[in-house]
Amino acid sequence: MKIDRIVFMGTPSFAVPSLKLLIDSGYKPEICITQPDKPKGRKQKLRSPEIKKVAEAYKIKVIQPDNVNSNETFNTLSHIKPKIIITVAYGGYLGRRLRNYPEYGCINLHPSLLPKYRGAAPINHTLFNGDKYTGNTVFKLVAKMDAGPVLYQTRLKIKPEENFSQLSDRLAEDGAKALIRCLEKLSEQDIVIKNQNEAEATYCPKLKKEDMLLSWRMEARVICNKVRGLSYRPGAVACFRGKRIKILKSKILQQRSLEEAGKILELIKPTGIVVSTADQNILIQEVQPEGKRIMSSYAYNLGARIKLGESFESGF
């Protein structure tokens, strides 16, 4: 028998494939909980979370509590008597009362091979570190962050030039399927629960502004991995002619860097701009100048008229 009386908790676009596949697979939630609308953009207009838009399109009730652990939220859920709460990138901590209330508890989808990369930015750090594989983990929520027993896990090979946006989309789709398979196994009582090995746990905190800044004195591998891990949003930040510029795509060249780090060595039509680093030269392929759209680095050069010998500086 399928699990019913489901509560879904999620906020950003990463959670959308999970909600849609739950609905399409006969697991339509009774209610969706998401973060409150927040002001965005220059005009600071209130914008709804992506999950709210999808839930309302499917006529699912939505609540947006400031405190998900409040009595008011609990009373709302008590009318549903949920059998399970599913969280996907919700962005808030669930207290013991909520975690223990449903028959099947609360389960969470996390885009890493737990216990590796517990925390807020697993996909970014996976790419920063140049990993070859990643995956999704469905686990039972406990008090400690991302430390609960594993119910289901998938494994994906990372493509050589895959960036954060591309890998995030792929993991979101794969994670939705993992959730459905986990629900099926739970209903069939076919789940093998595996406790996480604390000795193997690693952590990745929420990204800060300084994490976006490029230093050309780093090795080419580190620079290119950072570019991948931040593209397309928020983007790795450098500086050129006193203005911020985002470096969005790059690759390592088989050339030793003999010049000062950050110096522009060559302009290759139409592929990009060759820049020196701490060890090997890299080719910058896509950029986004401050206040402008994403463009090829060669298109940027046509307007900027870059001169050989000019330098990129670290971001600020």
| 118 and 36 housed in the same domain | yes
Does residue 38 belong to any structural domain of this protein? yes
**What does the block give as tokens for 217?**
């004195």
| 140 and 260 housed in the same domain | no
| 164 and 43 housed in the same domain | yes
| 65 and 182 housed in the same domain | yes
Write down the pTM of the prediction: 0.95
Does residue 1 belong to any structural domain of this protein? no
Q: 172, 187, 204: which is the final residue of a domain?
A: 204
| 59 and 189 housed in the same domain | yes
- Residue 174: per-residue pLDDT: 98
**What does the block give as tokens for 13?**
């676009």
| 34 and 150 housed in the same domain | yes
Name the residue with tokens 């008011």.
72
- Residue 316: per-residue pLDDT: 58
| 155 and 217 housed in the same domain | no
- Residue 272: per-residue pLDDT: 95
| 176 and 264 housed in the same domain | no
How many structural domains are present in the chain?
A: 2
> Contact at 8 Å (CB) between 236 and 246?
yes
Backbone angles phi, psi at 6, to 5 degrees: -95, 140
Q: 183, 204, 225: which is the final residue of a domain?
A: 204
| 158 and 238 housed in the same domain | no
Per-residue pLDDT tens digits of the chain, which is 316 residues long: 899 999 999 999 999 999 999 999 999 999 999 999 998 877 788 899 999 999 999 999 999 999 999 999 999 999 999 999 999 999 999 999 999 999 999 999 999 999 999 999 999 999 999 999 999 999 999 999 999 999 999 999 999 999 999 999 999 999 999 999 999 999 999 999 999 999 999 999 999 999 999 999 999 999 999 999 999 999 999 999 999 999 999 999 999 999 999 999 999 999 999 999 999 999 999 999 999 999 999 999 999 999 999 999 876 5
What CATH number has the domain bearing residue 65? 3.40.50.170
The one-character DSSP state at 263 is B
**Percentages of the chain per state (helix, strand, coil), in multiples of 5:** 30, 30, 40
| 196 and 252 housed in the same domain | no
| 57 and 163 housed in the same domain | yes
| 169 and 224 housed in the same domain | no
Q: 204, 233, 252: which is the final residue of a domain?
A: 204
